[in-house]
Structure 1
Amino acid sequence: MLFMQCLFVYSFAQFSVSGVVTNESGEELVGANLVLSGTYKGTSTDVGGAYKFENVKAGNYTLRVSYMGYEAQRVNLNVTKNVVKNVVLVPLDILAEEVIVSATRAGAKTPVAVTDLSREDIEAQSAGQDIPYLLGLSPSVVTSSEAGTGIGYSALRIRGTDPTRINVTVNGIPLNDSESQGAFWVNMPDFASSVDNVQIQRGVGTSTNGAAAFGATINFQTETFNGEPYAEVQSLVGSFGTNKNSVKAGTGLIDGKFTVDARYSKLNSDGYVDYAFVDHESYFISVAYYTEKSIIKANIISGNQHTGISWWGNPNPEEDRRYNPAGEYTDEFGNKRYYKDQTDNYFQDHYQVFYSSQLNPFTNINLGLHYTDGEGYYEQYKEDESYADYGLENVVIGDQTLEQTDLIRRKWLDNDFYGATFSLNYNRNNLNASLGGAWNKYDGDHFGRIIWMRNAGNTEKGHEWYFNVGEKTDFNVFGKLNCQLTKQLNVYGDLQYRRINYEMRGQDDDLLALDQTHEYDFFNPKMGLFYELAQNQEAYFSFGIGHREPTRTIFKEAKGDPSSTPRSESLYDYELGYKYSSTKAAFGVNLYYMYYHDQLVPTGEKNNVGSSIMTNVDKSYRAGVEFVGGVKVLPNLNWDFNFTLSSNKIKDYIEYATYYDAEGVASEGSKYLGTTNIAYSPETMGSSILAYEPAKILKFSLITKYVGKQYFDNTSSEDRKIDAYFVNNLRGDLTLKESFFSKINLFVQVNNLLDEEYSNNGYGGNWYQEGVEKTWAYYYPQAGINFMTGLTLTF
C-alpha cells in the first residue's frame, strides 16, 4: 500500500529544469531558444543567458537548444527531481542560413501575432494542394479555389484581407506582383516542396520588402543547408484525374564547402469544375558555397502553368455544381458549344543570388540580387464583337456590311522584375538591431492580339489592338531595434520609409489612353513591448502604421475621370497578446483592432479578368480576438486548434447602384446604409487537428475547418453572401524506416469527409427595377468527398 502511495505521488510530482546557455568562451547567449520535447513548453534565455522550465512532470525528455550561428544541441534529461543543466553551444563550421531572412522576420520576443511553420509542419499538411491550402489551418486564414480542389487558381485571405494586401517574400525578396500586388500561386506549381520554413505575421507586422502588409506578411525560406546527400521520389494520385510526380536530390556538403539541391515536379488535374484543368510543371535549383563566415547562394525557381479558365464562377450551383460558363458560345446554327482552349498560360522564372558575411561574432551583412522573367497570355473565344472595339473597319461582303464578328483573342503580359535587397544585423547581449531595405523595378508590357476572326476582311492574323506599358519603382529602407531592458521586459521599435513611382503609358484594351503617373512617400512606424509575466506566461502589445498605394486595376477603372482617381490607404493596427504554456497544454490569445482610413473595399463586382472592382471608404475597421491552443489529451492524442471572432465594419457606407424605371431607362442613384459589414470578412472562423498516434510509425488526423457566413458586397444583404461551411478531412500517415530507404511515407487523405455541399467564394451585385432591389451572383462550388494518396521514398 505504501509503495502504491509513493508511486502515485511520484507520478504527479512537479519539478523544474533550469540552467544557463553560454558559448565556449563562457559568454552568456541572450535569446537562445529552448524547447522541451513531448510538452508544449518553450522559452528563451534572459539577459543573463538563464532559462527555466517549471511544473515539469517526472519523466524522460529531450531539451532542444538553438541559437543563430551555433550548432543546435539535443540534451536528454531524466527528470526525477529539480534539474540544473547548463548548455555550452559550439559555433557552426559554416555560417547559418537563417541570417538571410533574419532582418524581415519576427524574433521570439517581437511583439506581433505570429505563426511559424517548419518543414515537418508543411509536410504533415501537404496533400498535393497549393500554398494557400497548406497555410489554411493557420489562425484567421480563409482559403478559396476556383477549380474546387485547392489546385490551380487558389487564394487565401487573412483576417478578411485579400491577397493584394498580404506581403509575400521568398528569402526576403518580394513575390507580390508589382502592379496587382497579389501573389499568384498558380504560377509557382509545387513550390511548397522546396520550402524549408514559413513565418506568417498577422496585422501590420514588422517591416519587410515589397508590397505593403495590410493584413498579414508571409515569409518563405527555401531549401536550407543539407549536409548529407539525399534523394527523394514522390508520387500522388487522387480524384478528378489528379496526379503529381516529383523528384528531389541533394549532393550534401562537397569538399566542406559546396552543396547543390534540385527538384522537378509535374502536376495534372481535371479539376472538380468543368474544364478547370491543370497542366503544370516546375523546377528548383539551389547552389551554395559555404565558409565559416560567409555564404554565396544562387536559386532558380521556375514555373510553367497551363490552366483552364474558371474565373467566372457559377450562377446556378444548385442546378449543376460543376458548370463553368467560361468558353461557352453558340455556333451559327444555334448550338451551344465550348471553346476548349479558353486557357491561361504563363511562364515565370525567378533568379536569386545571395551573399552573407559574418563581419564579427555579433554582426552580419546580407546582400541579395534578383530577377524575375514572366511571360504569358490568356485565350478567349468572343462572340459578336464589334470591329470598332478593336480599332477595325467594318467588313463589307457583297452588299452587306458586317459590324460584328466572332473572334479568338489573346491578352498578353510580358514583364521583368529585378532589384536588390540588403540588411545589416547586430545581435549581442540584450540588443538585437537590423538595418535593411530594397530597391526594385518592374517593367511590364500589356498587349492584345487577335489570332482568328470568322470574318476577318483585310485584318491579318495576330492583329494587335492595344499596347501599354506599366513601370514601377519601389524603394524602402527600415531600421529595427529589440532591446531586453530587464529580465522580463523587451522593447521593440521599427521605422520604415517607402517610396513608390508608378507610370502607365499607352492604350488600354478599350482603346482609351491609359497615361498616368503616381508617386507616393510613406512612413511606417511600429513599436511594442514584450513582457515575461512568469516562466510560462508572456504578454505583448504593439502598435503599427501602414500605408498602401492602389493597384493597377483600380487605377484603370478611373482612367479618363480624374475625380474618381483612387486614394492611398492608411492602417493603424493595435495588437495585444498573451501566451501560456505547460507540459500538457499551450494557449495564446491575441486581440486586434485595425482602423483604416480610405480603405479600398471590394464592391462585389469583377472586371474582365476576374479581379475585384474596389472603392475607397472613409472609415472602417477590423476588430477581433484570435485564440490558439494545443492540448496533449493523452500521451498519444494531441489536439491543436484555433478560432477567430471578429467584427469588420464600414462606417457611414453609401451604396451606389443603377435604377431602372418602367420604360427601362437607367439612372444612377445612391442610398445611405450606415454601418455595414466589410465584404469577404467572416465574423467566425476556426480550424482543428485531432491527431492520434497508436504507434510511432502510424498517425491518424481529423482535420476540421469552419468559416462563418461572408457577404460579398458591402451592403450586408442576405441575398449576396457565401453561406457558412464546416468541412472535415481525414488523413492517415504510415512512416517506415528501412535499410535501403532512410524513410518511406505513405499517406491517404479523404477530403470533405461528410460530403458537404459548399462554396468558399463568390461575387455579385445589385440593381433596382422600379424601386425593387434585384440581385445577381456567381459562386465557386467546392468538390464533395474526394481523396488523395501519396507515396514518398527518401534515400
Structure 2
Amino acid sequence: MKSTLKKLFLFLAFVVLTVTANAQENQKQQDSTKTEKLDKILLSATRAKDKTPVAFTNIKKEQLESINLGQDLPILLDQLPSVVTTSDAGAGVGYTGIRVRGSDATRVNVTINGIPYNDAESQGTFWVNMPDFVSSVEDIQLQRGVGTSTNGSGAFGASLNIKTLTPSKQGYATTTNAVGSFGTRKHNINIGSGLKNNFYAEGRLSNIQSDGYIDRARADLNSYYLETGFLNEKSAIKAIVFGGKEITYQSWYGTPEAVVNNDRDGIQAFIDRNFPSDEEAQNLLNSGRTYNFYTYDNEVDNYEQTHYQLHISHQFSTHFSANVSGNFTRGKGFFEQYKNNEELGEYFPNNVNASDEGDVIRRRWLDNDFYAFVYALNYTKDNLNLYFGGGYNMYKGDHFGEVIWDSFPTSIPIRSNYYFSYGDKEDFNTYAKAEYSINSNLFALLDLQYRKVNYESVGTSSDLLNINVKESYDFFNPKFGLTYTIDNYNSIYGSYAMANREPNRDDLTKNPVRPKSEQLHDFELGYKLRKTNLYTTVNLYYMDYKDQLILTGDLDDVGGPIRQNVAKSYRAGIELQAGYKVSGRFRIDANATFSQNKIKAFDYVIYDTQYDPNTFESISYAPVVEQFEDTDISFSPDVIFGSTLTYSPIKNGSIALLSKYVGKQYLDNTSSNDKSIDAYFVNNLNVSYKIQPKWIKEIGFNLLVNNLFNSEYVSNGYTYSYFYRPVGSSDAPITENFYYPQATTNFLLGMTLKF
C-alpha cells in the first residue's frame, strides 16, 4: 500500500509541477466560469437549492478547515441540526457514527459527486475507510427527511450529499500537520496544478494515527485522492481515484454499565453472571471507563477500499445539458479475532473429532466490488427546469472465514475456510423531475422516481447456517412541494415525499420470517428569514413509517438479535436555526430540535431459560412476549441543541465555543429508564489564527480543545435482557447494558502551510 501511494504521489507531483510551470494568468476568469458550469451540471439533479422545499444545511470547506485535524467526517458535522455523533474509540478517530433525527447511518443516504456510497448489503456508511476525506471536499449538503435523494438506498432520515474539490484556477500546495491527545496525529499534503490549456490535476496523501481514548483502540489510517480533468466552454471531464486503508484495533464490544459507573459491586455481579476468565475479570475490575473487552494483540479490522469515478458533463445548448458518471469501487479486508475454548465442530461440523476443544485465531473476510452508472439530462428555459435521469448499480460481495491458527488436538490445514457465501445486488432507478416558477413568488417541485432492487445471497453464514435468499422489490417514490417567497427576506415552503426501503442483508438472512420492505411518508413545513446579518429557519416535520424494522429483543437461531417490522411508528418535531452577526467581531449561530419519536405498538421478546436448581441443567428455553404501546424509538432524543459563539479579536484570528446538548436516549424501544443513556452537554473550544508572510501564501494555526469542561458522558450503547432462573421461580429478568464512553478533555493542535 505505502509503495503504491509513493508511486502515485511522485507521478502526480511530476504532472503538477510540469503544468504549474506553464500556468497563464489571463485564463483566470474564463476558468472560473468553466468550473462553475461543471459543478452546476454535475450535481444539478441531486442538490437542493434556495427555493427547494426541503430542510437542508450547506457547509463549505472553509467552515471545516479549523476543526479538520484528524477526526472523522461525522464528528466534524456534529453541530448541524438534528445530528448526534459517536465514536467507538472515544476520540473521533476510527469507527464513528452519525444519526439524523434519530435515524442511524443505514438510513442516511450518502452520495459522493452523485455516486451512491452506502454499503449495498448492510446499507451503512463506514467513514473509517475514507480517512481525511474532508480535506478533498468542496462542500457538503445535509438534507433532513427524504430530501431530493435520487441515487442509492432510500433516505429514511437524511441525505448527505458530498461534492469533492472544485478545480483550482491556480497551482497550489498545502500541508497540514496536527498532533494531540491519545497519540493522535495527522499529516497530509495537497497539491494542484491549476488550469493550463483546459487541463488540470490535483491530489492528496494523508496519514492519521491515534491510540484512542478506549484501551488499545488504536488506528492507523492511510488515504489518497487523485483527480485530473479537462474543461472547456461546453464540456467537462473529470477522472477521480480515491481510497484508503485502515487498520483499527476493535473497540466494538462496549463497556459494561457497572464499569462505566465504577460500581465495584455491580462489576462483581457482572462477573458472577458471565463467568469470564481470571484475566478477563481483572480487566473488568481494573480498567475503568476506558475498558476494552479485547486484549489479543492483533484483534484488528483491516480493510482497504479504492474508488474510481469518471464524470462527463456537456452543455449542448443554452437550454439543454447532460452529465454521465461511472464508478467502480473495490474493497477487500477482514477482521481478526482470538477465540478461546472453541469446539472444532463450530468450524468444521463434519469432522470426526468435532467435539475437540481448543483456541482459535480466525479472520472473517469481505471481498466486494461495486459498479455504478448514473446520468441526468437537464432542460432549462424561462421559468422551467426539467430533469430526467437515473442509475444502475451492481454489487458483488464474497463473505468467507478462515482459521489462521488453532490449538485443536486434531490437525486442520492452516487458513482453512469454514464458511462461504456471496451476495449479489442490482439497483435500478429512473426519475423525472420538474421545477417551475409559477410566478415571481411561487415555486413548485414535482419528482417521480421508480426504483427496482434485486438481491440474492447463497451459501453459509459465519454461524454455519444456510442463507439462501432471492428477493425483488419495486418502489415508486413521489415527491412534490411548493415554496412561496413573501418578499426579499421571507419565504415559506411545504412538501410531501414518499420513500421505500428494502431490508438489509442481516434482515433477509437471519430472520426466520421474511421481513417486509419499509415505507415512509414525510411531511415538511418551513419558514426562512434571510437578511445581511441575520438568518432564521423554522421547520416542522412529520415522518410517518409503515413496517419500520426495529429491534424487539427477538433472536435468531444462534442467539443473535434480529429486527422485526412494526406496523406504525412516527417521528414528529420542530427544527430551529438562527444566526446573528452581532458586530464585525462577534457572531452567534444556534440550532435546536424538539421531537417526539414513537412506536404505536410492538411485541417485546425476552428469552426465558429455566434450570434445575440442583444440577443447573437447562430444563426449558422459550420466548416471553410482552406488548408495549406508544413507546419511544431508541436513540431518538426529544431535545438536541447546538450553538457556536465566534469572536474575532484580531484580523485573521478567531475563538469559537461549540456547545452540544443531547437529551436522554433509550437503548431499546421499551422506554425503560433502566436501559437509557443520560442526557449530556459538551463544549469544545476552537482557536484559529492565520498569517501571510511574504515568503509563503499563508500559515494557519488551529487548536481544538474537545470536552472543555471534562464531562464524563457516553453517546452510544446497546442492551439485552434475559431470564435465567430456577424452574418455577418468579425472578425478574437480567438486563445487561453496554456503553461507549467518550473522551474527557483532550486537544488537537495543527498547522497548515499554503504555498
TM-score, length basis structure 1? 0.84
Q: Cα offset for 1:341?
A: 0.3
**1:549 maps to 2:502:** yes
Alpha-carbon distance in structure 2 between the residues aligned to 1:727 and 1:332:
35
Preserved CA contact (<8 Å) 1:413 1:444 = yes
Residues of 2 paired with 1:641 and 1:126: CA distance? Answer: 21
Say if 1:598 and 1:618, in contact at 8 Å, map to a contact too.
yes
The 5 Å alignment of 1:466-615 reads: 466-558=419-511, 561=512, 564-603=513-552, 613-615=562-564
SS at structure 2 position matched to 1:128: coil
Q: Does 1:681 align with 2:636?
A: yes
Contact 1:499 1:522 in 2 (8 A): yes
What CA distance in whole angstroms lies between the structure 1 residues aligned with 2:707 and 2:110?
29
1:383: how far off? 1.1
Paired position in structure 2 for 1:270: 211
State the one-letter code of the partner of 1:753.
L
SS for the counterpart of 1:555 is helix
2:112 corresponds, among 170, 173, 185, to 170
What's the offset of the Cα at 1:771? 4.8
> Are residues 693 and 93 of structure 1, via their aligned partners in 2, closer, same or farther at CA, if it must alter by over 3 Å?
closer
Tell me which amino acid in the other structure corresponds to 1:741. I
The CA deviation string for residues 734-785 of structure 1, in whole angstroms up to 9 with x for no partner, is: 0111222211110111110010000000000223452523311100000000
Among 775, 779, 782, the alignment partner of 2:735 is 775
Summarize the Cα distance change of 1:260–1:217 in structure 2 as closer, same or farther, 3 Å threshold: same
Which range moved further: 236-245 or 130-139?
130-139
Task: Identify the residue that residue 17 of structure 2 maps to in structure 1.
Answer: none
Q: Which amino acid aligns with 1:461?
A: I
Is residue 275–residue 308 contact of structure 1 (8 Å, CA) maintained in 2?
A: yes
Measured after TM superposition, the shift of residue 482 of structure 1 is 0.7
Aligned partner (choices 251, 254, 259) of residue 313 of structure 1: 254
Superimposed CA distance per residue, residues 603-660 of structure 1 (whole angstroms, 9 cap, x where no aligned partner): 4799999997422111000000000000122331100010000000000222111234
Matched, 1:733 2:688: yes
For residues 14-25 of structure 1, the aligned pairs below 5 Å read none
RMSD: 2.6
Partner AA of 1:444 in structure 2 = G
* Deviation by residue 1:489-538 (Cα, 9 ceiling, x = unmatched): 00110000000000001111222211110100000000000001122101
Does the alignment pair 1:436 with 2:436?
no
1:242 shift after superposition = 0.3
Name the aligned partner's letter for residue 352 of structure 1: Q
The 2-side partners of 1:702 and 1:119 are apart by 19
2:48–2:148 CA contact under 8 A, matched in 1: yes
Distance 2:459 2:208 in 1: 37
Shift in Å, 1:555: 1.4
Other structure's SS at 1:104 match: coil
Cα distance in 1 for residues equivalent to 2:555 and 2:134: 29
Secondary structure of 1:103's counterpart equals coil
Contact 2:28-2:169 within 8 A present in 1 as well: no
Instruction: For residue 330 of structure 1, report the CA deviation from its aligned partner.
Output: 5.0
How many pairs were matched up?
Answer: 698
Is 1:340 equivalent to 2:340 in the alignment?
Answer: no
For the 8 Å contact 2:154–2:499, the answer to whether it is kept is: yes
CA distance in 2, matches of 1:172, 1:93: 17
Q: Which residue of 2 aligns with 1:786?
A: 746
Structure 2 residue aligned with 1:240 = 182
Q: Which runs of 5+ in 2 are unaligned?
A: 1-26, 284-293, 613-617
Q: Establish whether residue 134 from structure 1 lines up as the match of residue 76 from structure 2.
A: yes
The one of 119, 143, 149 equivalent to 1:201 is 143
- 2:3 — aligned with what? none
C-alpha change, 1:692 and 1:610, in structure 2 (3 Å) is farther
> Once structures 1 and 2 are overlaid, which stretch shifts more, 497-506 or 113-122?
113-122
Q: Could you tell me whether the CA contact under 8 Å between 2:356 and 2:408 is conserved in 1?
A: no
The alignment partner of 2:139 has SS state of strand
Amino acid at match of 1:172: G
Max radius of gyration: which structure?
1
1:651 aligns with 2:651: no
TM-score (normalised: structure 2): 0.89
For residue 123 of structure 1, what is the aligned residue in structure 2? Answer: 65
Amino acid at match of 2:382: N
Preserved CA contact (<8 Å) 1:167 1:176: yes
| Pairing partner for 1:366 from 323, 337, 340 | 323
**Aligned counterparts of 1:462 and 1:225: Cα–Cα separation in 2:** 47
Contact persistence 2:468–2:509 (CA under 8 A): no
Please identify which structure carries the higher helix content: 2
Identity of aligned residues (%): 44
* Matches of 2:318 and 2:130, distance apart in 1: 37
Matched residue, 2:20 = none
Where does residue 111 of structure 1 map in the other structure?
53
Indicate conservation of the 8 Å contact 1:530/1:541, yes or no.
yes
Deviation at 1:91, TM superposition (A): 5.9
Letter in 2 for 1:347: E
Residue 372 of structure 2 is aligned to residue 419 of structure 1:
yes
Amino acid of the structure 2 residue aligned with 1:209: N
Between the aligned partners of 1:225 and 1:513, the Cα distance in structure 2 is 50
SS at match of 2:486: strand
2:334 partner letter = Y
SS at match of 1:341: coil
CA contact (8 A) 1:573 1:595 kept: yes
**Amino acid of the residue matched to residue 657 of structure 2?**
L
Note closer, same or farther for the CA distance 1:710–1:93 as it changes in structure 2 (3 Å cut). closer
Match of 2:164 in 1: 222
Residue in structure 2 matched with residue 723 of structure 1 by the alignment: 678
Change (3 A) 1:789 1:482: same
AA in 2 matched with 1:356: S
What is the letter of the counterpart of residue 403 of structure 2? I
Assess if the C-alpha contact under 8 Å between 2:552 and 2:604 holds in 1.
no
Deviations 1:157-215 (A, max 9, x none): 00000101110000000000000011100111111110011111100111320111111
Give the aligned partner of residue 301 of structure 1. 242
Deviates more, 1:649-658 or 1:696-705: 649-658
Between Structure 1 and Structure 2, the one with more strand by share is 1
Match of 1:37 in 2: none
Partner of 1:64: none
Once residues 199 and 332 of structure 1 are traced to their aligned partners in structure 2, the CA distance between those partners, rounded to angstroms, is 48
What letter corresponds to residue 641 of structure 2 in structure 1? G
Name 2:624's counterpart in structure 1: 669
The DSSP-based 3-state class of the residue aligned with 1:240 is helix
Does 134-143 or 601-610 show the bigger shift? 601-610
